[in-house]
Amino acid sequence: MTQSPSAAAPKPSRVAREPEPPASEMAGAHSPIIQVQELRKSYRTARGSLELFDNLNLEVPVGELVAIVGPSGAGKSTLLHILGALDAPSSGTVYCASTNVASLSAREAAAFRNRQIGYVWQFHYLLPEFTAQENVAMPLLARGMRKTEAMHAADRWLKEVGLEDRNDHRPGELSGGEQQRVALARALVSSPRLLLADEPTGDLDSTTAGRVFELIERLHLNHGLTSILVTHNMDLAMRCRRILKLESGTMTDITDFASKSLQS
Ligand code: ADP
Q: Which residues line ligand 1 (CB under 6 A)?
A: 43, 45, 50, 52, 70, 72-78
Walk across the sheet containing 48-61 and list its strands: 48-61, 32-45, 91-96, 99-100
For residue 74, which atom of ligand 1 is closest to its CA? Answer: 3
Q: Give this prediction's pTM.
A: 0.86
- 34-126+193-263 CATH: 3.40.50.300
Distance 75 CA to ligand 1 centre (A): 6
Distance 80 CA to ligand 1 centre (A): 12
State the Cα torsion 159-206-79-239 to the nearest 10°.
-80
- Protein residue whose Cα sits closest to atom 15 of ligand 1: 73
Which of 77, 90, 123, 199 for mutating ligand 1's site (highest number of atoms within 8 Å of CB)? 77
The tens digit of pLDDT for each residue in 66-109 reads 999 999 999 999 999 999 999 999 999 999 988 999 889 999 99
Q: At what angle do helices 206-222 and 176-188 cross, to 10 degrees?
A: 20
Identity of the amino acid at 233: N
- In whole angstroms, what is the distance from residue 96 CA to residue 249 CA? 20
Q: Are 70 and 243 in contact (CB under 8 A)?
A: no
The tens digit of pLDDT for each residue in 155-205 reads 999 999 999 999 999 999 999 999 999 999 999 999 999 999 999 999 899
Estimate the share of the chain in helix, then strand, then coil, as percent rounded to the nearest 5.
40, 25, 35
For residue 257, name the pLDDT band (cuts at 50, 70, 90).
confident
